[in-house]
Chains A and B, each alone.
Chain A
Amino acid sequence: GESVGLHLPTLSVQEGDNSIINCAYSNSASDYFIWYKQESGKGPQFIIDIRSNMDKRQGQRVTVLLNKTVKHLSLQIAATQPGDSAVYFCAPTEGSNYKLTFGKGTLLTVNP
């Protein structure tokens, strides 16, 4: 099965700084890579996806970088805000039904 790991289980940043959350994966056949955000007491929320034929994708204040050579992706959050405090999961897809494999997540804490 898919093995998904995160380099940093916790990350603490100052408000206004940029945050970088890393994720390693093992299945080179994954077609999409998804980032989800989970705030305390809530269900996960889709943030952004990147397809395997891309190496960079930008959204609103977020950028995803994908390095297929080393099977690594990262989520960069610009000008981190207190509302960004949450657990962030990367989830590669598996198969045509896009089943997701979630890693353990990284807890991002933004200090005011």
Chain B
Amino acid sequence: NAGVTQTPKFQVLKTGQSMTLQCAQDMNHNSMYWYRQDPGMGLRLIYYSASEGTTDKGEVPNGYNVSRLNKREFSLRLESAAPSQTSVYFCASSDWGRGYEQYFGPGTRLTVT
């Protein structure tokens, strides 16, 4: 039982490049989330998926797109990376009715130059 896994762990992009961050969970959770964390800051919600087939914007969705591929997988795409998107990205999942108890992955550290 790996919990929540994220790939890659580290990534460096040039401004304007695109990439997809992958997230998978093996806990049969309904809900999945993408957050970003900037130095000295709390986590800010980018997008979330309350259940398979649905996605909704969070606090900071601009510049990102998401895909809930199936119940296990939730990907985050940066179409045209900008230096302001340099951050650590965390994926999380939660069970139905306990959305506040979220299980987080180890994070992806992204640098955009």
Contacts of A97 in B (CB 8 A): 31, 48, 50, 56, 99
* B106 and chain A: residue at smallest CB distance: A43
* Number of B residues, CB within 8 Å of A: 26
Q: Answer whether residue A61 sits at the interface, using C-beta atoms and an 8 A cutoff.
A: no
Comparing A13-21, A64-72, A76-84, A100-108, the segment that makes contact with chain B is A100-108
Bound CA span A45–B4, Å: 12
The answer to whether A98 and B99 touch across the interface, beta carbons within 8 angstroms, is yes
- The 0/1 profile, CB within 8 Å of B marked 1, for residues 90-112 of chain A is 01010001111011110000000
Bound CA span A44–B33, Å: 13
Given A44-B90, A98-B94, is A103 in contact with B100 using a C-beta cutoff of 8 Å? no
Q: Answer whether residue B104 sits at the interface, using C-beta atoms and an 8 A cutoff.
A: yes
Distance of B105 from chain A, by nearest CB (Å): 6
Please classify how large the interface on chain A is, using the bins under 10, 10 to 19, 20 to 34, 35 or more.
20 to 34
Q: Answer whether residue A89 sits at the interface, using C-beta atoms and an 8 A cutoff.
A: yes
Residue among B44, B99, B107 with the most chain A CB within 10 A? B99
Bound CA span A82–B21, Å: 33
Distance of A78 from chain B, by nearest CB (Å): 22
Bound CA span A41–B106, Å: 8
Comparing B11-19, B35-43, B62-70, B75-83, the segment that makes contact with chain A is B35-43
Q: List 29 A-B contacts (CB under 8 A).
A: A1-B59, A4-B42, A41-B107, A43-B92, A43-B104, A43-B107, A44-B90, A44-B102, A44-B104, A45-B104, A46-B102, A46-B103, A49-B101, A89-B42, A91-B100, A97-B31, A97-B50, A97-B56, A98-B94, A98-B98, A98-B99, A98-B100, A99-B45, A99-B58, A99-B99, A102-B42, A104-B40, A104-B41, A104-B42
Residues of B within 8 A of A (CB): 4, 31, 40-45, 48, 50, 56, 58-59, 90, 92, 94, 98-107
